């Protein structure tokens, strides 16, 4: 049997920033070596995610880190056992290593410190070890022992979980921003881009991720590429607030995302996911390792979030700047982004509330409006619809505000028309008859509209609201599945215009 390579032999230190090992006599036996004081658990995003448990022990007079690769991390349920593969000792300096191992090198990938602290040995004999960890995350007693099958294979089980009782889970409703007219500079605020996507709460445990929409629907299966979001977080559990976005030419595209939102068939979801991949942009943190953070100041939540996420193609952290809101707004305009969000430093997270601690400044105006019907298409649209007839609720009922005839891709029209046909109704849902209001092309009377039950909500971009309550230059952006039609009020539309 060939001799196993040592720590140094496996690595090219002209390419990796990992520390080189000092010369010491072979690997120590964890069942007989003199224990040290410290431990570290590394989270290693290599070919497959795994964790590395490292206990400080003495090799003669040299401290080393006796190490096990633990694919599923330390178990947190009493009696449950996880595999732990005993690997070569690492230098003591490795305990502070966190960063990237370049592609082509041994263990290539991202390495993060999952936990660290002190430990004490409770029992020790060849092939067996019981120890107590005093970490930020891992607190308790574990027993690790060598299996009879192979010298390198060990098993680890929890004997006592000594973590504090977890805080109650906060309300899983997103905090919302109030619209204001102009960007501003202020040392008491931070500013970040407004993402044009679908709001989602990611509830992550050790083993799974659940994505909840703004109205508490489980949308996890709709976005399979986000199903392992929990593996990109350095924690046991967390609740992260963010946005699901589909990028196009370097910017979020709500139109592209529309092709993903309403899919339910597993085969269709898999097919479209390859064509239009999505990512999760994280921008707030409500809960981390049993601790509720909704009362913590914004800057603390942001700092914890920055250290929590190991970024990838599927998960990002929203960038932000302090003080300089106008500069960021100008950049958002130049890049054709939806706008920016200003967040007050020191503010708590207020689930389900819309207040003045979060403010949004948009580069364009858009509103959520109820679809009440459609006009028949002409020319290239003769087999589809010409425009959507939309409205907003006031005290008298659904008030007609305009016909939306632009912003539709061929794919969008193909997917939207069947949904409209399912809702066809004999009853006109509007309080005013659009046929008498010159809403057709070039202001001509609208002929033969098709009415639908007012249950679909469209996001519509427009330039302004006219004095007669009509949208000027409206353009369709997509359907909103997380908005109740009753929320689409004319008062909100007026507030939008006034801002």
Which is catalytic among the residues 10, 103, 152, 194? 194
Distance CA 285, CA 280 (A): 13
The confidence score (pLDDT) of residue 2 equals: 44
Q: Which three-class secondary structure state does DSSP give residue 449?
A: coil
The confidence score (pLDDT) of residue 419 equals: 93
The confidence score (pLDDT) of residue 264 equals: 85
Distance CA 326, CA 334 (A): 12
Tell me if 394 sits within 8 A of 490, measured CB to CB.
Answer: yes
Q: Looking at residue 237, what DSSP letter applies?
A: -
Distance CA 57, CA 140 (A): 19
The confidence score (pLDDT) of residue 146 equals: 93
Distance CA 53, CA 29 (A): 15
Integer-rounded Cα radius of gyration of the chain: 28
The confidence score (pLDDT) of residue 23 equals: 65
Strands (E) located in 137-237? 139-146, 153-161, 176-179, 185-193, 198-204, 209-212
What structural domains and CATH numbers belong to the chain? 8-161 (no CATH), 176-362 (3.30.470.30), 366-498 (2.40.50.140)
Is 5 a catalytic site residue? no
Distance CA 159, CA 161 (A): 7
Tell me if 256 sits within 8 A of 262, measured CB to CB.
Answer: no
Tokens of 40: 């570290």
Determine whether 53 is exposed, middle or buried from the number of CB atoms within 10 Å of its CB (0-12, 13-18, 19+): buried
Q: What are the 10-residue block averages of pLDDT along the chain, 499 residues in total?
A: 71 94 79 96 95 96 95 93 95 96 95 98 95 97 89 93 96 94 96 95 96 94 96 98 94 86 89 95 98 98 98 96 97 90 98 96 90 88 89 96 89 90 96 75 67 96 85 89 93 84
The confidence score (pLDDT) of residue 101 equals: 96
Within 13 Å and on the Cβ side, how many CA atoms surround 83? 10
Determine whether 249 is exposed, middle or buried from the number of CB atoms within 10 Å of its CB (0-12, 13-18, 19+): exposed
Tell me if 138 sits within 8 A of 131, measured CB to CB.
Answer: no
């Amino acid at each position: 049997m060939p001799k196993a390579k040592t720590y140094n032999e496996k690595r090219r230190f002209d390419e990796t920033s990992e520390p080189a090992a000092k010369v010491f006599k072979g690997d120590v036996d964890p069942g007989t070596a003199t224990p040290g004081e410290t431990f570290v658990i590394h989270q290693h995003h290599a070919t497959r995610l795994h964790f590395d448990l490292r206990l400080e022990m003495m090799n003669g007079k040299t401290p080393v880190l006796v190490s096990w690769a633990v694919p599923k991390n330390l178990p947190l349920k009493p009696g449950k056992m996880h595999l732990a593969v005993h690997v070569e000792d690492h230098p003591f300096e490795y305990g502070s290593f966190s960063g990237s191992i370049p592609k082509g090198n041994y263990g290539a990938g991202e390495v993060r410190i999952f936990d660290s602290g002190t430990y004490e040995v409770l029992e020790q004999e060849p092939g067996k070890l019981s120890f107590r960890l005093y970490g930020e995350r891992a607190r308790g007693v574990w027993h690790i022992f060598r299996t009879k099958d192979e010298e390198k294979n060990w098993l680890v089980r929890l004997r006592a979980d000594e973590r504090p009782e977890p805080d109650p889970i906060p309300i899983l409703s997103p905090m919302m921003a109030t619209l204001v007219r102009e960007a501003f500079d202020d040392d008491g605020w931070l500013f970040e881009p407004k993402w044009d996507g679908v709001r989602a709460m990611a509830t992550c445990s050790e083993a799974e991720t659940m994505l909840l929409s703004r109205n508490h629907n489980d949308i996890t299966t709709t976005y399979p590429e986000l199903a392992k979001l929990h593996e990109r977080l350095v924690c046991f559990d967390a609740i992260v607030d963010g946005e699901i976005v589909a990028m196009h030419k370097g910017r979020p595209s709500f139109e592209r995302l529309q092709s993903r939102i309403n899919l339910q068939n597993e085969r269709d979801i898999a097919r479209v996911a390859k064509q239009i991949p999505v990512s999760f942009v994280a921008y707030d943190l409500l809960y981390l390792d049993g601790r509720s953070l909704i009362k913590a100041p914004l800057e603390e939540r942001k700092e914890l979030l920055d250290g929590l996420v190991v970024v990838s193609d599927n998960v990002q952290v929203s960038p932000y700047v302090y003080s300089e809101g106008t500069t960021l707004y100008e950049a958002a305009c130049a890049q054709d982004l939806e706008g920016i969000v200003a967040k007050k430093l020191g503010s708590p997270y207020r689930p389900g509330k819309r207040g003045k601690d979060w403010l949004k400044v948009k580069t364009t105006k858009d509103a959520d409006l109820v679809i009440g019907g459609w006009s028949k298409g002409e020319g290239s649209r003769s087999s589809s619809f010409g425009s959507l007839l939309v409205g907003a609720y006031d005290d008298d009922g659904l008030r007609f505000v305009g016909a939306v005839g632009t912003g539709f891709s061929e794919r969008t029209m193909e997917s939207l028309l069947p949904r409209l046909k399912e809702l066809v109704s004999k009853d006109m849902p509007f309080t005013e008859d659009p046929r008498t209001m010159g809403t057709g092309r070039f202001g001509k009377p609208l002929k033969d509209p098709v009415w639908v039950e007012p249950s679909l909500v469209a996001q519509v971009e427009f330039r302004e609201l006219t004095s007669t309550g009509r949208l000027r230059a409206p353009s369709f952006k997509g359907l909103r599945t997380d908005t109740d039609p009753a929320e689409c009020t004319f008062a909100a539309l007026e507030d939008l215009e006034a801002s």
